Structure 1
């Protein structure tokens, strides 16, 4: 047998002791690590409750914010729908519906009162005072007179109707109307005083004790033949109001003219028989005028020759 190969001997006592120590050390090391890890687990278990409570608070706040967001979104959506319905509704149509409702209620009340055998007009008059009833009767009388005088009589009456209508429009703004009336009275008084100082007018006391201003020939100051008002210079605001009234009257005149189917001054040759045919001809002109203008001009030149 070769000398390089030697038979391994059986382990001795010392080898058994060393192996036993190594085995014990290997078994003890995991236990040592486990013992060191136990305090860490206990430490983390002590800190766990604060972190969980903070997370719960954050979740509660987040849920509250989401609920507030949802409620705000629903409120905004409801407001948007309400605004859309209000914008889509026609005010004139709403007024018409309200008027029809009032008429229906009036007829229903009248039918109920007459069914009971009572006088409807007498019972309805209980809700009005004497002054209100007189004002209403006067208003109805004026309305009837305006309705009867709707036809054209002469230019003087027509101008008077326009003047009355303008005065009613001015009286709608009571504050501005009172201020203008006071300014007018003040300017009128100043004009009379200037005329008296210059000798153009005289202050005369009537039999009733009223003081009036008369010309040298004895005529009253505020007659239509007086020329003193020609020197009056209105302020810029009054001129602007006059211009606005003239423009408004012109717009009304043109609108009435269009409603009657009349021609505007800007129209050219009449190529239509009614408003619908006019719109159709305008549509054709937009698309085909560039092709037919030369032919039309040729026809016009031929007829002129």
Structure 2
């Protein structure tokens, strides 16, 4: 009987010890969970703040690498296109040179004058224009600087060569002047002074009293501004 009572006492003591240990384990787990900055449980496949920050930094690094790679590819494509244009121009120049050399060799074998044969391809008007340009270039072959007036004159002469007459604007101005003169003649009974006024609207000289009514086009203004800036 005494043995049975001792056994029961030992069993109850062991049971209390086990229950106390489990309670302290739960308390430790609760305390450790309170001290750890867990936003979501890791066992459920969710991330902590540190893991989120690390992932964000990895995404930013990947974005920087992608931007750098895209920029590198863009520069490579630009260089390739530039090289393609230069290569095409170089090949075209080489092709023309080879064709000229071949024509010269063929003409030499046949005993022909290549320069004379080339001149057959141009008309009389084109040849006269070429001769004028050549003689004008020879007259302006003095590239030495003498003074500011001489340099300004050479620049002025060079700019005159670039001026092209605007026949469309001239025709429109002529039609407007003549139509205005016709209206004045119809209103006043065909006076000769109105006809003179209409003529002065189109053909003006130093004695013309009309002035200050010219309105240049936007293209003309842009051309003058571009010439001044350069």
TM-score calculated relative to the size of structure 1? 0.35
Instruction: Give 1 or 2 for the bigger CA radius of gyration.
Output: 1
TM-score calculated relative to the size of structure 2? 0.44
